[in-house]
Structure 1
Amino acid sequence: MASLAQQIGGLRCPPLSTSRVSNNSTRQNQKKPNSLRVVSAVTISNAQTKEREKLKDMFEEAYERCRTAPMSGVPFTIEDFHSALDKYDFNSEIGTKVKGMVFKTDAYGALVDMTAKSSAFLPVREASIHNIKHVEEAGIVPGLQEEFVIIGENEADDSLILSLRSIQYDLAWERCRQLQAEDVVVKGKIVGANKGGIVAMVEGLRGFVPFSQISTKSTAEDLLDKDLPLKFVEVDEEQTRLVLSNRKAMADSQAQLGIGSVVVGTVQSLKPYGAFIDIGGINGLLHVSQISHDRVSDIATVLQPGDTLKVMILSHDRARGRVSLSTKKLEPTPGDMIRNPKLVFEKAEEMAQTFRQRIAQAEAMARADMLRFQPESGLTLNADGILGPLTTDLPAEGLDLSDIPPAEDS
């Protein structure tokens, strides 16, 4: 036994290692996650398969629906689709007219929304046919909807460049053609001059007025920045020729001037012998002797350049383009033009009517003298200077001279 005990005691068993125990437990624990990992992989694989099958079924269903009933469930029709294309798709070629809305303005121009891929730009110089410094001067403000024409493209951002000026330019030529056909007198502002004549702005276009077609003796420098009455002589858009005449306009205006008519004029200049009055583009002379019944020694005490007054036409020489004027004939009492010119202007039409009646009476008396040599007319002149019948059967007030037919040559 002792020897057995010794033998047993002599046996050396290594101590239990904590590391081995922990390693064993760790290995056991590691076996569990491996089994879980396998189960999870199977689960995920099954879920993906179901999802793929579901998507496959959806695609197959969609394909079948598109093949058999492509418009099923669509809230708009083919017509709606084409209408939308027309609204949002447009021709962006140069010269094309497009509609847009201004949504922003600045010192350089305006941004316009045209439902394109980017905003379009309207430069200041293209905003109006007239020279402006800001687009708002032409009425271009945010919210304005207008038709524009495409004139270019900005290479930096592919945005379009628009113009209103080119549209207005075409309309201006059309307007000038219409005014020429109607033979209308228009006002043109003189903006320049050259060797052959002057340049006038009409309807936003530059027109040429030859010196031979100017009725006034004023120099080109004197006419700058002034308005002249003009008529159209030639309107040719293709050749960009716009020729005007001041003489034709003056002839038309002068035809409206009748002896004894009252017109409004502006004093242009004073001379020792009278004042030159502008009456609608025509220069008339108000002689010093026709200012007032009272003597006027110094015209400057009565009139000044720039004064506006009413004058009466005394005579009109159309061949020479001379018009004689009078304020003397408009005075209610002699000297009113010096003492109370306001009263003269208020009574101008009334006094002019009296003057015309006197002229008509004088003409009637002259014609009556001629009729006295024609007893067959059956007319005589009464004490008031009115032609009346020889018999007493007709009205006592006599006959109006306008009703008397002219005597026939025997």
Structure 2
Amino acid sequence: MKNIVLADKAGFCFGVKRAVEKVLKYKEKYNKPIYTLGPLIHNNDVVEYLKSKDIYPIEINELDQLNEGNIVIIRSHGVSPEIIETLEKKKLIVADATCPHVSNIHEKVKKYYKLGYGTIIVGDFKHPEVIGIDGWCNNCAIISKDGSNIDETPNKVCVVAQTTEKQENWKKVLKVVEQKSKEIVSFNTICNATQIRQKAAYDISKKVDTMVVIGGYHSSNTTKLFEICKENCSNTIHVENAGQIPDEIIKTSINIGVTAGASTPDWIIKEAIIKMSENKDLQGNEQLAYMEQNDVQIAVGDTVKGKIISLNEKEAFVDIKYKKDGILPLKEVTKAQDVKLTDMLKDGDEIEVKIISLRNDDGYVVLSKIEIERELAYKELKKAFENKDILKISISEVVKGGLIGRYRGVRVFVPASHIELFHVEKLDKYIGQIFETNVIEYKVQKRGTRIVASRREILLKEKQEKEEKAWETIEKGQIIEGKVKRLTNFGAFVDVNGVDGLLHVSEISWGRIERPKNVLNINDKIKVYILDADKENKKLSLSIKKLIQNPWDNVDEKYPNGNVVLGKIVRFADFGAFVELEPGVDGLVHVSEISHKRIDKPSDMLQIGEEIKAKILNVDKEQKKISLSIKEVE
């Protein structure tokens, strides 16, 4: 029984497929003749098919035949900047179908040429892709197939490769360059699909009697496939279509391997398989059924798996096993600014995505990774709400009544009262912070799902755990450092190892203090004395005054009778005025000792805050009383 094996990645590569789809789209849009800059692909059958649809190849030297408004397609091989400029000057409608892999090479060559590097291109100097690349370094590149023609190289050199070149040729050239240049920047730009295609052809050609390589005779990548297969299978043939396959091979071969160049469409491959197969039925033929799997149906909202076949900084192209490739824009991967898709993904990555549109302007299926993340996020948020799990969210903005955080891109509201265990005035300081939160509300509404989170329970638990440990070490009579957390009219609350203690206004100083905020600030670090530690009721009483000597202890030594002292009027009574001599020590000037004149009340002669001189008449240390006279000084 005849066995036909089709190699992986046989047929249209991403870049060629993209170019064909683009030219057909322009034909549909403008409905007039279209010109491709050179044969769109190296396949005579496809070129003839395109001609039947009024799509014609044209060479550079034939551009004079075109008029303003004519449509020109730049094929997947790409062109030099000079040609692009020529097309623009002629005011033609230009559609650039350059393969993204090739565009990436142009950017690299352009960048390093401007930095003063020489350029070496591994490839065929006659190939249009190589000619186009050379144009981005002012046509001064060294072009080599295997390094044999490289005699001298610049000290600084940038090395790139034709996307369809063989890996062994890349290694040969690089080995020569490494011996001749001091500074080398090398980019192995051989297309990943090309490598897979060549390896698959290599593996299959070792196992079969006959190897059939299908593709244009002028196709570089098809020629390389033929060379690779010929090394393993002497009975290897290169044909452009099914009609060129000899009947003798079909009759005598049992195991036939099939591969096809990047410019070979599926229908030509199918014709070849049908011709060689004993089973002409599509459904009954395993290889043909495999090719038809791209005809699966998809719908918006479906989740699919795919492989990245090409990408640049802003978008990735994904093989989703459908008749159209998918496009994954940067904005559907991340909402972060100033990032590149090439930093997050790479060729060959297998990813799971959601379909959000069946066709964009260029005919691609639009994919999203963010939507997958969003769905997963909603599931995790709902689970966290039901199980009271802790989730981390990133705070992104301040809104009325609280903060907005993001969990995997999903909006989460944190009310102001749930941010801290105390009232917070300014919320801007929290932007950019990561919060551990509990989901306290998860409600599906018509306008979307409302999700509310809180830190209070987590902070309260942390506070309680910290307090429990702190109470084990706190004892009455200790002197310890604390931090001022809150200020009230009656005192200050001070954090002592995680425990809130009250520093009453009367314990701040020996002097009279109207309000704690006059002498203390939030976050001040202060030393305090523990007056009392009620561990059962969790009450902590603190004092600063206890750490300062009582000014009345040696008052009789500091203020001898008969001396004149300077003081400040601090308050009045009907019977006299109180004078502050130092914080905590006040003296009394009786109304009769204020002046030699008769006065009815102290305020007739004195003002609060006024500095006065007075004579010390008597000091009573035990009763904490000092009698003063202003008139004696006068």
- Is TM more than 0.5 here? no
TM-score normalised by length of structure 2 = 0.30
* Structure having the higher Rg: 1
